[in-house]
Amino acid sequence: MLQLLYNCNKNGEISSPIDWGSRRPTEYPEWVTLEVAHGGFATGRAMASFELDIARRDVDGNTTTPTTSPPPPRTNISYLNSKEGLEELLSLLDSGNYAIDYPENGALLVLVHLLRQDKLQEVKELLHTIAPYFNEIRFYPVVVAINNNNNSSKTATSIPGGEGQQ
């Protein structure tokens, strides 16, 4: 773990990619949710990154510990570069069949809501803010199915192999 947090330069001086105690301890902006190690130390990795697998949900909606995995089949760009992608986001927004594990996972839903409201300047500003991180951070939610058994309570379950599912 220490090897992730510290490096030695050619002069043997210890350096770290993390600016301890700073409001912005890594290269990520302040709004990115950082992974926090035991003891409250930021590791420098974004929780919503493609590098870390978003916590998987079991039938009861419980989460498991994130693990390393390859990027998911869906990408931020694939949602924005097609009519089908935008329609899928709008459908998720309307149905509520999604889960947001980290705030960043809701950014594309906010974007399509703003588009629907013809707030083009806000869309442009949001895209300007998040686009530099499209290859690193997942800005779309996990697709889930809502089970409404006997109208008693709603339970969210993952859709195996569904779009946006990792």
Do 44 and 34 touch, CB atoms closer than 8 A? yes
Residue pLDDT tens, the chain, 166 long: 444 444 445 555 555 565 555 656 678 888 998 888 888 777 888 888 876 644 433 434 455 444 444 445 578 999 999 999 999 999 999 999 999 999 999 999 999 999 999 999 999 999 999 999 999 999 999 888 765 544 444 444 444 334 443 3
Listed residue (73, 58, 83) closest to 140, CA to CA:
73
Q: CA torsion 47→52→57→63, rounded to 10°?
A: -60
Q: List the structure tokens of 30.
A: 């302040």
86 phi and psi angles, rounded to 5 deg: -65, -40
Q: What is the largest CA-CA distance in the chain?
A: 68
* Overall pTM surpassing 0.95 (yes/no): no
